[in-house]
A and B are shown apart, each in its own frame.
Chain A
Amino acid sequence: MLQDDTRSEVSLRINGVDRTVGVDNRATLLDTLREGLGLTGAKKGCDHGQCGACTVLLDGRRVNSCLQLAVAADGGEVVTIEGVAGLEGGGDLHALQRAFLEHDALQCGYCTPGQICSALGAMAEAERGWPSHVTGDTSAGVAGAASLDAYEVRERMSGNICRCGAYGGIVAAVLEVAEADGGRS
């Protein structure tokens, strides 16, 4: 029931399921996921685009869900940490989640959902050949996610802060999955 023009009904496909929810236009995608839809995987660190804890995939691209308005995402397709295993068509965990466990890529785990969604976005960008700031030849770009080194992964993941400093493990986990198959699985 929409009382006035400051509220909206928003339809999103979230982790493969169609959901419709009434929102105050001021609600961010992050707050809508966490409070309106019970998907508390994406975390709120700074609420200002500075930490990356809220990173989700929106229409296949990684975004800070704290700076996206839910109403503006209407009609979009969202993947949160709750849905990444489903990207591989079942199984309990995505290869990247398993790699995070194997490489001790977390301590408190608060940044982890954002790290994983961000890494999936970053690998997809590399698969398109997109260079980063540290790519030597901007014009040539990179030859897929499998070609990334630790230096590249660190730069591409710099939008995700880890207060526990688990960066070593995070980079190792991303590299392992990127090298395996470009992160597509």
Chain B
Amino acid sequence: MRPFAYERAEDPAEAAALVAERPDAAFLAGGTNLVDLMKLGVAGPGTLVDVRRLGYDRVEHRDDGGVLIGATVKNSELAGDPGIRRRFPALSRAILAGASGQLRSAATTAGNLLQRTRCVYFQDVTKPCNKREPGSGCPAIGGSHRDLAVLGTSDHCVATYPGDMAVALAALDALVHVRGLDGEARALPLEDLYVLPGDTPHRETVLERGDLITGVELPAAPAGAAMHYRKVRDRWSYAFALVSVAAVLRTAGDGTIDEVRLALGGVAPRPWRARTAESELIGKLPTPENVQAAMGAELAGARPLPDNAFKLDLATDLVGAVLRDLTEPEEDR
């Protein structure tokens, strides 16, 4: 591991100044991804600026039903927060479906959003990888890609965004609050935080150097809507998603869909908001045939590889299962 300086910033201005002074500085939160990547030689910051004392450590519920989640709130605290469990149970479920108890009690909101892909070549510095070393090639396309993406990929990179929490946040119309190096605050939709690989897979987000995530805002969930998160993985617990689905659903008296929001995990370089499927489903019953048709439209542009084409059927089945969970009481199934 490359030697580095460590600074514990006490306020955001100081954190920004420290990063401004040192071009190879990185923010440190729970460290559960960054320290791992530093050990692997994938990341090598010259300075770590610890952001955990900046005061972004609260979950503030608003009277209108919305919430502001601080950037350094621990994943375990957020999943356990009574207001989140009551108003946004799919968010708690998504967090609890990820990692382990001890990882969640160190990991933070912002760190979770910015976790890097688990592509095995990316994590192995002896292998080429366009994301880690631009222009070196993508061995995953002709090699080990079973866990990687089928949507939004390019000829340069097929990595998946691996996280769970952000998938639920995408379905909940989250806004990410960012403080720029100049102290200017801005907010952007969570989906716009991530950029697709194109021919620059090393660029994963719209964040500029020194941009500090300060929190995530959720608007009130639609009145009368139900929400859910499900994850399919190779073992029952403690594994990354093959495919996951977050859904927010409201049906009319006759069972037709009034409002639906679907986000897919494990299939794309970012949490994938399935807007085509959503609009196909409006006004219809969530029958298997309708789900099949809607997901067929959503996945029309997919670029499956030989070993991950199974994700297309899996995503369709999982969307169907989640909508069924939300519309049929358990005893009827």
Contacts and interface: CB of A to CB of B under 8 A. Distances in A.
Contact of B6 (A8, A28, A67, A141): A8
A64 B264 CA distance: 29
Nearest to B96: A133
B28 A118 contact: no
A133 B31 contact: no
Contact of B101 (A24, A58, A122): A122
Contact of B100 (A26, A52, A130): A52
Nearest to B97: A133
Contact of A6 (B5, B76, B93, B106): B5
Contacts of A24: 3
Given A71-B6, A133-B93, A138-B85, A63 B102 contact: yes
Given A67-B36, A139-B86, A159 B103 contact: yes
B89 interface: yes
Given A25-B4, A49-B32, A138-B85, A159 B80 contact: no
Contacts of A139: 85-86, 89
A43 interface: no
B80 A72 contact: no
A37 to B, nearest CB: 19
Contacts of B74: 61
Interface in B1-52: 1, 3-6, 8, 28, 30-32, 35-36, 38-39, 48, 50, 52
B268 to A, nearest CB: 23
A48 interface: yes
Contacts of B130: none
A52 B237 CA distance: 14
B36 A49 contact: yes
Task: Pick from A52, A58, A62, A63 the residue with the most CB of B within 10 Å.
Answer: A63
Interface residues of A, number: 43
Contacts of A122: 101
A160 B4 CA distance: 30
The prevalent SS among residues of A at the interface is loop
B102 A26 contact: no
Contacts of A138: 85, 89, 92-93, 96
B141 interface: no
A159 B107 CA distance: 14
Interface string B70-83: 00001010011010
A86 to B, nearest CB: 21
A133 to B, nearest CB: 4
B76 A130 contact: yes
A125 B8 CA distance: 28
A144 interface: no
A77 interface: no
Contacts of A155: 236-237
A18 interface: no
B104 to A, nearest CB: 9
Interface of A: 5-6, 8, 24-26, 28, 47-49, 52, 55, 58, 61-64, 67-69, 71-72, 74, 118, 121-122, 125, 128-133, 138-139, 141, 154-160
The 3 closest A-B pairs by CB, nearest first: A159-B100, A158-B237, A130-B80
30 contacts: A5-B5, A6-B4, A24-B3, A25-B4, A26-B3, A48-B36, A52-B102, A62-B101, A63-B102, A67-B31, A67-B35, A67-B106, A68-B31, A68-B35, A68-B106, A72-B8, A72-B28, A72-B52, A125-B80, A125-B105, A129-B80, A132-B96, A133-B96, A138-B85, A138-B93, A139-B86, A154-B237, A157-B101, A158-B101, A158-B237
